[in-house]
Amino acid sequence: MNKYRALITLSLIGTILVGCDNSKNDTNKQQLANDIVNSMVTVKGGRFQMGDFGPLVGEKLPFSPRLDNKPLHWVELSDFKITKNKVTWREFNVWLNLNKKEYNKYYKKIKGRKVEDEYDKKILRNIGDNYPASVSWDDASAFCKWIGKVSGKSITLPTEAQWEYAARSRGKFFQFANSDNQYNPDDPDDKLNFTHDMAPVGSYPPNPLGLYDMMGNGNEWVNDWYAEDYYKNSPEKIRKDQIKVTKK
């Protein structure tokens, strides 16, 4: 955290201490940025059909009655990189501290919760250092841009198309974004290779691209806006300047 020299009469030792603090702060910034960038997996671009592909497989029926994931349409993406894990509470809170920001309301509410039973303990675990962070879109976007600025790279949240393409292992007709595209709703939780609840990132096997928790373990923000008719009007080619993205 950068410290301002409010008094010009600071002693030499005071000036040196401030300088050391700045240096440590810069090192911590670079370390966080490097950790995020080094966790990224390259996804080779391509052309795929985005949206509800249910009518093309199995029983030839839509997966969902919703209209905002229709019509199925072609999208072409250039190569990009995406973090193999969701951003954790530890990473997010380090970013907050480096930028002199307060912990978010959800985190503070859970942190201050009175622990009286097993349910309370479970809720408290959800804000563990290695659990996915629950944040606002604004904070998620700001985190990505900050990582980009420190690392000197172009980093944003993934677009919806990039996220779906990666979840479906480069746009394959995979209904489930877990390790084997299989899900039996009758299986007990300990037999599943994903979680309906929350767990430390990387607790379950990755999808074929090496990406963890693309199915389960919380929801994720994307970079583009929501519109009910977006699928009807979205362009086939996505901007090629969106090279690197971060899961949140």
When mean pLDDT is compared across 1-15, 47-61, 72-86, 227-241, the lowest value belongs to 1-15
Question: Do the beta carbons of residue 127 and residue 199 sit within 8 Å?
Answer: no
Residue 234 has pLDDT above 60, yes or no: yes
Distance CA 71, CA 74 (A): 10
pLDDT tens-digit series, residues 176-208? 988 888 887 777 776 777 888 899 999 999 999
Residue 11 has pLDDT above 70, yes or no: no
Distance CA 166, CA 81 (A): 10
Question: Does 9 or 224 have the greater pLDDT score?
Answer: 224
Question: Does 23 or 179 have the greater pLDDT score?
Answer: 179
Residue 70 has pLDDT above 90, yes or no: yes
Question: Does 5 or 24 have the greater pLDDT score?
Answer: 24
The mean pLDDT value for 199-219 works out to: 95
Residue 8 has pLDDT above 70, yes or no: no
Question: Does 6 or 125 have the greater pLDDT score?
Answer: 125
Question: Does 184 or 146 have the greater pLDDT score?
Answer: 146
How far is residue 185 from each of residues 157, 188, 193, 195, 225, measured CA to CA in Å? 31, 8, 12, 12, 32
29-245 CATH fold: paralog of FGE (formylglycine-generating enzyme) (3.90.1580)
pLDDT at position 187 is 75
Structure tokens at 54: 């249910």
Question: Does 82 or 248 have the greater pLDDT score?
Answer: 82
Would you call 219 exposed, middle or buried from its count of C-beta atoms within 10 A (0-12, 13-18, 19+)? exposed
Three-class DSSP category at 49: strand
Residue 231 has pLDDT above 50, yes or no: yes
When mean pLDDT is compared across 91-100, 116-125, 133-142, 184-193, the lowest value belongs to 184-193
Query: What residue ranges do the domains of the chain occupy?
Result: 29-245
Residue 149 has pLDDT above 70, yes or no: yes
pLDDT at position 238 is 60
- pLDDT bracket for residue 12 (50, 70, 90): very low
pLDDT at position 246 is 54
pLDDT at position 242 is 40
Q: What is the pTM of this model?
A: 0.83
* Average pLDDT over all residues of the chain: 86
